[in-house]
Structure 1
Amino acid sequence: MLTVIAFIVALGLLVTIHELGHYSVARWCGVHVERFSFGFGKVLFKRTDKRGCEWAFSALPLGGYVMMRNEPPENATAAEVASAYNAKTLWQRSAITVAGPVANLVLAVLLYALIGAVGTQEPAPIIGPAPENSVAASAHIPAGSIVTAVDGRDVASWNQFRWNMMDALASGRDIQLATTDPSGVAIQYDIALPKVHMDPDKPDVLAEAGFVLMPGTPVVKELVEGSVAGQAGVQVNDLLLSVNGQSLQTADQFVQAILPLANQTAVLRVEREGTQLTIPVAVAAAESAGKEIGRVGIKVGNALPMVTVRYGVLDSIQQGFTRTIDTLWMSLKMIGRMLIGEVSVKNLSGPVSIADYAGQSASIGVIAYLNFLALISISIGLLNLLPIPMLDGGHLLYYAIEALQGRPLSEAWQARGRAIGLGILAFFMVLAFTNDFTRLFS
């Protein structure tokens, strides 16, 4: 249910903002708007304002639409003729058309600015041990190094580091990595990154290059009801420091230390609210794949070092603008790389995947959902700017031809363009749905 609600809210909001962009500039240019509908289908409620625009609320809340007066009615007055869309100048029609995608981009700027002003908790940009023969290992970056900048752009969190690295990996280029090593010494690395093929079915390309997040301290996330660990006094949020004197760095190390201790005592060293405690636990025995293994009833996670990423009002707006432009530009490059085969078409997502992402982000929290809304808003803006007939970008293409030749493109050629555009959109819709259902059932 959360997924459905989150998807409907996202699509309804983002499409409505898009249509409000068209509406606002149309009104500013003197075009008569006959109807603005929130949603599609049967009209549940409507009201006509003093300008003659009907505001309708319809049954299917998946966006909305604007209906403008394209041609004046018969026996129209001079004012009615002037208020028709097709009576407006080329630049006015272009402004009305581009206003929808621009509204989506402005919304993304505002959402990212809000996120920056409120602040987020994100993993610190600390590089973990690099796998052998990886790019990071070849650069001899010591584990525990803190990344401070990528190509001169400041990095405050692992998320920011990852964002800057993904574009470099997709294009395959040299980067400059500024770090502070574990002893506090500033070191800069010049690294040649290989070009990677972006495929969602493949492992994390950043991790493949050897750039992995430094594992946090193992922490007790949950205690199984009636567990021996709980009975011994272990509590949720305890940091797990060692087992029988063996220091722990990762959650997996804790699991591996417990497995061979069936029917034995495991002496756990934990940290609770700044105080270290020693807790003996009688390890229970369980059978797995015909072998006896140890179980203590703890679900373990990693307590990662976190940083608060927050900006002032003006810096938040600047960050919102920068992040929107960066996302737009990267998305455009990914589309180009997809067309020439450098990026897998499996990265293309349809409504099913978008709905799934909406539900997942909403379940994480408000900030994650706002990030999702900003990203999808950028995607809607970019999609509509593509020069494909049937989209806003297709109309802008027609207007560009009109500007060059001094007259509108003939109706016959516009009809051919619409047919081509419909075919292109149908092809990508089928591809997106195929990817969606492949992910769903694989």
Structure 2
Amino acid sequence: MKNVREAAAIVISHLIQQQGSLSTLLSDQFETIPERDKALLQQLCYGTARDYYRLYALAGQFLKQPCDQTDTDVLALVLLGLYQLRDMRIPAHAAISETVSAISALGKPWAKGLINAILRRYQREGADIEKTLALNDASYQFNHPTWMIEKLRHNWPEHWQSLLQNNDVKGPLCLRINALRSSMDQWDAQAQAHSIAYQSGRFSEQAIYLEEATDVHLIPGFDEGLLSIQDEAAQLASPLLKLAPGQRVLDACAAPGGKLCHLLESEAGLSDVIALELNEGRIDRIYQNLERLDLQTRCQVLQADASSLDWWDGQLFDRILLDTPCSGTGVIRRNPDIKILRQNENILHLAKLQLDILENLWQVLKVDGVLVYATCSVFPQENERIIERFCKLHSDAHHDPIEAEWGIERPYGRQLFPQTAGHDGFFYARLIKKA
């Protein structure tokens, strides 16, 4: 079995090299360490990823030259060591010695002296160095890549700083009550019986925020399908569709299935529900959610590309939910590796893909049908500008303004920003197809 810091260094090193996501890399390393170390591994990796740009700026003050691609594991251990000294309750001597010893397991004993010297120097000089960086280094101050800071500053001059700050705060655990089988009153009775402190959502009738995160399997009713994990912003999709009995509904890009399950819970009388997902591995997540909620017989899941029509049977849809692939910049606080993995040039590629999928699915929507376009992005290039461009290209596309208390009204759609104790960042727009 591996040392937990060795495993953490492998995860962070792969992130630096753009080789996999945090969740996938962690899942792989969980198999290599003792059960007792899994929580520590998760804390080390998520914490280091969340503070990556601040830690990287600090490391740059101690390294004479940047580590090359063959030594990203050395850099990873430096970052992990700095994170432990700054943010964890592990005694400093233990954090340093355990981090230094991990480099031998990675086959680079020559770096022991380097890592030890950096971490001990941080102990002596770290406070003064951080004060200087806070005044002179934007990536340290805002803890994001420079391109993202500048893009947010340009797009949201009144909101960019709070956006960056909220990205670095852990999101609360939000649940959705299964309206088919439970209610807010029933949940409240369960919560009181088990002394669970919670707050009701502001914008979704089924949303509840637990004041203290916990293993969901310990929450009464979760394993029985009375509750699901879903952010409150994501719960807004189903009401926007204006579902009614007899409708044929398409959920494009459906994984992991939260919105699919919610719309099935919201309207029991839908005539036909099709869910598309391109990634075979993510389809398993959809089935897991459907089966836990006993909804697997009420929809058909297809492995298919939403930008093509190879899967289509020729029957038009009354409603389409397009939760399109995006940069994920509205959910950075839950997926801090986005700050490391995402690049500025990705946005242009994603915007093209988003428009292509929207163009394709518009063909399978009935006249007077509704399409809801959604992303978990805060960049207008992926959101309102896509809808604006699409409406200008299609005379039968009518933008239906969303009247709501949530988010910020835009010329096209509504934008939500992540809130410290509330919902994630999201964008919604609703289109109606006219003859």
Question: Scaled by the length of structure 1, what TM-score is found?
Answer: 0.23
Which of structures 1 and 2 has the larger relative contact order (alpha carbons within 8 angstroms, sep 6+)? Answer: 1
